[in-house]
Amino acid sequence: MAIYIDQEKKLFTLQTRNSTYQMKVDEKGVLLHTYYGEKADESDFSYLIGPFDRGFSGQPGDACGDRTYSMDYYPLEYPVLGNGDFRVKALLAGPKDGPAALDLRYASYELWDGKYDLTGLPALFAGEDTCVQTLEITLKDLYREVYVTLLYGVFEEQDVITRAARITNREKEVWTLRRAMSLGLDFLQGDMDLIHFYGKHAGERQLERRPVMHGIEEISSTRGASGHHHNPFMILSGRDTVEDYGACYGISLVYSGSFKFQVEKDQIDGLRLVGGLNDEEFVWELAENESFVTPEVVLTYSGQGLTRLSGNMQSILHKHLIRSWWKDQARPTLANNWEATYFQFDAKKLLQLAKEVADLGLDMLVLDDGWFGKRDDDTSGLGDWFVNEKKLGCSLKELVDQVNGLGVKFGIWMEPEMVSEDSELFRAHPDWALQIPGRAPVRSRDQLILDLSRKDVREYIKECIEQILSSANIEYVKWDMNRSMDLAFNVTEPGVSQGAVRHRYMLGLYEIMEDMLTRHPKLLLEGCSGGGGRFDAGMLYYSPQIWCSDNTDAIERLRIQYGTSFGYPMSAVAAHVSACPNHQNGRVTPFKTRGICAMQGAFGYELDLNKLSEQEKKEAKEQAAFYKKHQALFQSGDYYRLNSPMDERAYTAWSYVAKDQSKAILSVVHTDVYANPKRIRVRFKGLCEKTSYRINGEVYTGAALMRGGYVLPVPECAYDSCMLLAEAADILQ
Ligand code: GLA
């Protein structure tokens, strides 16, 4: 049992293996948040909240006379506008033509075994052998028939608690929501660091850590996608928390659209976090008996540092969010033709690539952009999802059959959400694009976005996808999305707010992906948005892997993949070996190093395999063979960051350790070289102390490798690297 309810005290205590989360209904029916942190017991923690007569902090109507009682500094479970709380709020709601105001009080609860789901939205699921409990706490406005049900899913063993909220209008008149967040989370002690992952196109998820100061900090996206620029995963940690020490909270929003996290340090040094949908231009109407359901947030607490926190996140997303048939299968190693040919290809060239794919021992050829409509550059053709047979020189089926004939699987690129103005689709349906009549649209990569909030548009896209997928043996789709959504106006329903259209768009996108995967359950979907512009937990519900960045430079990837590892499973990180000089930054790195970096995730190649030298081909064959031999370890081993590429100039190291500790792979990339160098000793993590491990013919105890470390060979050139396989000596005999 994970959820304890003391009926008399109206105390709700959620227990996981290593953490405790508690709420209490006070004497006025207000739901207080009393504790979240290191595992405790079911004691009533409300004694920690000292009532106090605090100037300029008012009392709700029914607390008249008691100046020590104020929503303005009490830790609240779901803060709203309307009861005298002046901090950031989770919910702003009111009658359509009236003021936003709520004062939520406890109404009832329900407790049941299993995990709630959020119809139409991605969310964690229980799975067959996992004990999960759901708690629903319903609050009601003091004055009106408006209800908020807070949903909690407790994954006891995994140290994870999920949250979402359902807002229901039982009034006759229409109510509007102007902000409806997934959670509020109050901490009495706000002395914390905020760790978040900012970035840009070709430079996603850069870790930044800073102390939370007084005022309001925001991590958000208004781009209609989670975006390259901020990620909907963040961490609140103790000031002294490091990889293996200290308290920290991981917060991951299961949503792929515009989002907002706000962190406020208040007048008495408490801290409040609210997070969920971005409320810019958001007005959602609720008619009588209608409900609005927010996206889900996944919370995990670690009292033992960031490594444990990442392990919790990686494992819960892998086991309880990713549904793909492929999640525990060896993912196909692939070669993508984008950086090999860009738009200049025909079937002959693709078959030459496919032959190399077979020769190197890889599994799949992926045909990227340019195979459909009129698409020889990125200014036209999006929306016309019919094969350009003239360009290919044959039908798609003929091409795929020939590729398959070489023993190679076939995958394809699509960007179904978009339309080029120079396309047959746009000429036929200009109103299908998101734009405001009378205003020139903002163009980005010369393309507009289709209005997925419209059913007719969704049906068209579903049909296009189905026609392509059923026309040939296509086993993988790279689903791209190559621009930000600025304005979101639905011409058929001009009264709907832009924020609401943005959210409906996301629901529409999820519906289309669900439809595609229901029809093709064994299809491997790889998410992409100009690289990692939609790398979020929402997408992982559909695509078990995501193209991590359009930046394929091995050295810049170190930071991108490092940042990504904090909140996401490494099996989700698609990474490829590309050509040198690198196409994005001109850097030259050894082939070996590019291979080692790409093996950090779902491995592949993105260069003209026909142009490899004999030596490179030999290395590529060895890389493919090594990756496949140890694929289970790369895909599902425990992942350790051994140092930080943000702080350390000389080298970056990481490792994978098998769950049974029988083997480990440690990778090191030298990011700077020195004359007369000092020797670098890298300490392994996660090995069994008493087991002997063999590395390059020498035997070391786990304790020695973890305490003393392994002495690295001196790098022989710029960006040199090494990968060490440590195998338990006894299983070698
Ligand atoms: C995006 C993707 C690339 C490639 C191009 C094709 O930028 O991230 O990998 O598919 O589109 O246009």
Per residue in 48-107, pLDDT (tens digit) is 998 999 999 999 999 988 999 999 999 999 999 999 999 999 999 999 999 999 999 999
pLDDT(471) > 90: yes
Looking at ligand 1, which residue's alpha carbon is closest to its atom 12?
369
Contact present, 429 and 447 (Cβ < 8 Å): no
Rounded to two decimals, the pTM is 0.98
Q: What percent of the chain has pLDDT over 70?
A: 99
Looking at ligand 1, which residue's alpha carbon is closest to its atom 1?
530
pLDDT(730) > 80: no
Ligand 1-lining residues (CB < 6 angstroms): 338, 368-369, 378, 413, 480, 482, 528, 530-531, 547, 550
Q: What integer pLDDT is reported at residue 127 of this predicted model?
A: 87
* Paired residues of 444 in beta bridges: 447
Grouping H, G, I as helix, E, B as strand and the rest as coil, residue 667 is strand
Contact present, 407 and 358 (Cβ < 8 Å): yes
pLDDT(733) > 80: no
Distance CA 100, CA 83 (A): 11
Distance from the alpha carbon of residue 461 to the mean position of ligand 1, in angstroms = 19
Q: For the residues 631-644, what does the mean pLDDT come to? A: 97
Grouping H, G, I as helix, E, B as strand and the rest as coil, residue 223 is coil
Per residue in 602-632, pLDDT (tens digit) is 999 999 999 999 999 999 999 999 999 999 9
Q: For the residues 486-499, what does the mean pLDDT come to? A: 95
Lowest mean pLDDT among 36-50, 121-135, 714-728: 121-135
Per residue in 202-228, pLDDT (tens digit) is 999 999 999 999 999 999 999 999 999
- Ranges assigned E (strand) in 488-629: 524-527, 545-547, 573-578, 602-606
Distance CA 452, CA 444 (A): 18
Mean pLDDT taken over the chain: 97
Q: For the residues 10-38, what does the mean pLDDT come to? A: 98
Phi-psi region of 289 (alpha: psi -120 to 50; beta: other; left: phi over 0): left
Q: For the residues 158-175, what does the mean pLDDT come to? A: 98
Per residue in 665-710, pLDDT (tens digit) is 999 999 999 999 999 999 999 999 999 999 999 999 999 999 999 9
pLDDT(296) > 60: yes
Q: What integer pLDDT is reported at residue 731 of this predicted model?
A: 55
pLDDT(21) > 70: yes
Give CB contacts under 8 A, 24+ apart, made by 371-374: 371/396, 371/412, 371/413, 373/423, 373/424, 374/422, 374/423
Distance from the alpha carbon of residue 340 to the mean position of ligand 1, in angstroms = 12
Q: For the residues 448-456, what does the mean pLDDT come to? A: 98
Q: What are phi and psi of 306, to 5 degrees?
A: -75, -30
Active site residues: 536, 616
pLDDT(567) > 90: yes
How do the residues of the chain divide into helix, strand and coil, expressed in percent and rounded to 5?
20, 35, 45
Q: What atom in ligand 1 is closest to the CA of residue 368?
A: 10
Instruction: Quickly count helices (H) and strands (E) in the chain.
Output: 15, 38
Distance CA 464, CA 119 (A): 25
Provide the pairing of β-strand 638-641 with 651-657.
antiparallel
Length of the chain: 733
Distance CA 586, CA 701 (A): 42
Q: For the residues 525-553, what does the mean pLDDT come to? A: 98
Binned at pLDDT 50, 70 and 90, residue 25 comes out as very high
Distance from the alpha carbon of residue 530 to the mean position of ligand 1, in angstroms = 5
Distance from the alpha carbon of residue 589 to the mean position of ligand 1, in angstroms = 22
Q: What are phi and psi of 191, to 5 degrees?
A: -80, 80
Q: What atom in ligand 1 is closest to the CA of residue 378?
A: 12
Looking at ligand 1, which residue's alpha carbon is closest to its atom 2?
530
Looking at ligand 1, which residue's alpha carbon is closest to its atom 6?
369
C-alpha distances (whole Å) from 331 to each of 48, 334, 415, 725 are: 50, 9, 22, 21
Q: Is the dihedral of CA 158, 161, 164, 165 positive or negative?
A: positive
